[in-house]
Amino acid sequence: MTATVTAPPPTLAATTSGRRKFKNNLATVLVTSSFVVAVIPLVWLLYTVISRGLHAITRDGWFTRSQRDITYKDPGGGAYHAILGTFEQVLLCSIISIPIAILVGVYLVEYGRGWLARTTTFMVDILTGIPSIVAALFIYAVFVTAFGGSRAGWLVSLALVMLMIPVIVRTTEEMLKLVPNELREASYALGVPKWKTILRIVLPTAFTGILTGIVLGIARVAGETAPLLILVGYSPNTNGNLFNGFQGSLPGMINDQVANIGNTRVLVNGRPVSIHYAADRMWGAALTLIIIVMALNVIARLIARRNKVTN
């Protein structure tokens, strides 16, 4: 970018002393190689997950069966219970987060003034940086220790709300700031009240941008594991009830299978046989999760590209 505009004239470069030239070349090599170094883990990780997880998820029943009655010694089973659990928890989380986060974004851009706005901005920053395990401990401290509730899927959703809200607030804020003032003023000039201007003019204009934020927020919380450990037990059975009992989830399933990937020997008729069912299922669940999260990210990019306001 800047580089291509303003490359130094060749005559000057020619007078550059050897030492400076060497330093410059060294910097170029280091900078370029740092990018290559960063790509290695990405490619390596994606390759690992895809190559090891593919045959698990292409197997019959992966998307329709649960892990009911399947121990590490048994092949098969599916991730239906986990996908269902993750879907429900994220859905409840979204239902709670989206309205609150959009209202906060609207507050910060359209209304926010004085100490409350400054404090809110700061607190959103803090919420962005809050470790997921602390969010989970907080929900546990409130709903289990203080109110005596029991662990269930909806508590996970509440913890995820704390992680999702800042993502959507930030995007909403940015998108609302991009809505041209002329639109608001035209609306006011026509005598439309402010609240109606925001609901009918400002928010619809920024809609695609906000949608991008929502999708990215969902992608962020779908892979969260720490709240699952604290707030709901993992169940290998299908449990569609968010408010009662343990529930499976994709990260929970990975965490459950990982405990048994070391058990690779079973005795069949007194003879040791090598197995890797748990590892297969673990990578299968990981691939399923990555597919969901990556798809959400790609969707967010596509929405962002069609966004009228940013581009």
Binding positions for another protein, 200-239, rule CB under 8 A: 205, 213, 215-217, 219-220, 222-226, 229-230, 233
Residues 52-91 within binding reach of another protein (CB under 8 A): none
CA distance 13 to 154: 64
Instruction: Based on the shown chain and the rule CB under 8 A, indicate whether residue 190 belongs to the binding site for another protein.
Output: no
Shortest reach from residue 139's CB to another protein, in Å: 9
Residues 158-177 within binding reach of another protein (CB under 8 A): 162, 165-167, 169-171, 173-174, 176-177
Among 10, 18, 34, 271, binds another protein (CB under 8 A): 34
Among 54, 91, 95, 123, binds another protein (CB under 8 A): 123
Question: Per-residue string for binding with another protein, 252-281, x by CB under 8 A?
Answer: --xx--x--x-----------------x--
Shortest reach from residue 232's CB to another protein, in Å: 10
Q: Is the dihedral of CA 29, 31, 34, 35 positive or negative?
A: negative
Shortest reach from residue 210's CB to another protein, in Å: 12
Shortest reach from residue 120's CB to another protein, in Å: 4
- For another protein, give the closer residue by CB, 92 or 203: 203
Shortest reach from residue 36's CB to another protein, in Å: 9
CA distance 75 to 231: 29
- For another protein, give the closer residue by CB, 123 or 268: 123
Shortest reach from residue 271's CB to another protein, in Å: 27
CA distance 188 to 30: 55
CB atoms within 10 A of CB 124: 19
Q: Is 212 helix (H, G, I), strand (E, B) or coil?
A: helix
Instruction: Based on the shown chain and the rule CB under 8 A, indicate whether residue 131 belongs to the binding site for another protein.
Output: yes
Instruction: Based on the shown chain and the rule CB under 8 A, indicate whether residue 122 belongs to the binding site for another protein.
Output: yes
Q: Calculate helix-pair angle for 277-305, 207-222, nearest 10 degrees.
A: 170
Q: Is the dihedral of CA 238, 229, 299, 284 positive or negative?
A: negative
Nearest to 59 by CA among 263, 249, 288, 224: 288
Backbone angles phi, psi at 273, to 5 degrees: -125, 140
- For another protein, give the closer residue by CB, 121 or 238: 121
CA distance 44 to 300: 24
CA distance 286 to 52: 10
Answer for the pair 185, 124: CB distance below 8 angstroms, yes or no.
no
- For another protein, give the closer residue by CB, 191 or 270: 191
